[in-house]
Amino acid sequence: MDILADDELSLNQDDPRYKPKSQRNAIADGGLGVVSGIAMGTVETATSVDAAFRGNKKAAALRAQNLSIFKPDDLGVAGEFTYGLTRDFTKVGWNALATISTGGISGVATQAGLFGFQSYESEKSDLINMGADESTATKGAAIRGATDAATFAIPAHGIAKNVVADAVATTGLAIGGGITGDYVEGNYL
């Protein structure tokens, strides 16, 4: 008799590891992703400063708790896409409100720093929750925070005379920076 791995088994509904597939359609899944992303973006913005004072293990436990509350496990592709997008846009929006009195280069630098710090705290907590030691989690999170702050501050506006081309260039640069950050962090870890 062959021994089957967990991913080769077909779990029935009585098994505690069984996760039912979502019965939502893509539109409902995307809508749930938007609501969840706004909630999680708000919570991450509010708790990132607090996480610096709590200590790594408590902050990681709080992040795991927040993820279990605000992010459904069964989001499909549309839900995951809208969740990630609205979570980051919500953080940017809260940061813009917090730095409304600053303007120009200093405003962008302040917002990029806040966004990078929030990414740093989230990544550090996620890495600790995955079993990384605190030193490794801190270094990996520093890579993520720095690349997120840099991609936030990349000045792509005004590259083209067309608004759509500017938006595509900005998005492309941010995606390229994110992929580079993931690669560097992955090589480190």
Residue with tokens 């936030």: 152
Q: Is residue 10, in this structure, part of any structural domain at all?
A: no
Q: Is residue 166, in this structure, part of any structural domain at all?
A: yes
Q: Is residue 108, in this structure, part of any structural domain at all?
A: yes
Domain of 171 in residue numbering reads as 25-188
Please state, in angstroms and rounded to a whole number, the distance separating the CA atoms of residues 55 and 134: 10
Q: Is residue 14, in this structure, part of any structural domain at all?
A: no
Q: What is the pLDDT of residues 78-90, one digit of tens each?
A: 888 888 888 888 8
Provide the number of structural domains found in the chain.
1
Q: State CA 24 to chain mean position distance.
A: 23
DSSP string, 40-98: HHHHHHHHHHHHHHH-HHHHHHHHHHHHHHHS-TT--HHHHHHHHHHHHHHHHHHHHHH
Q: Is residue 12, in this structure, part of any structural domain at all?
A: no
pLDDT at residue 35, as a whole number = 92
Q: Is residue 13, in this structure, part of any structural domain at all?
A: no
The reply to whether the predicted model has a pTM over 0.85 is no
Q: Is residue 61, in this structure, part of any structural domain at all?
A: yes
Q: Is residue 172, in this structure, part of any structural domain at all?
A: yes
CB 147 within 8 Å of CB 181: yes
Output DSSP code: residue 109.
Answer: H
For each of the chain's 189 residues, which pLDDT tens digit applies? 455 555 555 556 666 665 566 677 888 888 988 999 899 888 888 777 777 777 777 878 887 888 888 888 788 888 888 888 888 888 878 877 877 777 767 777 888 888 888 888 888 888 888 888 889 989 999 998 898 888 877 765 556 677 777 777 777 777 787 788 888 888 877
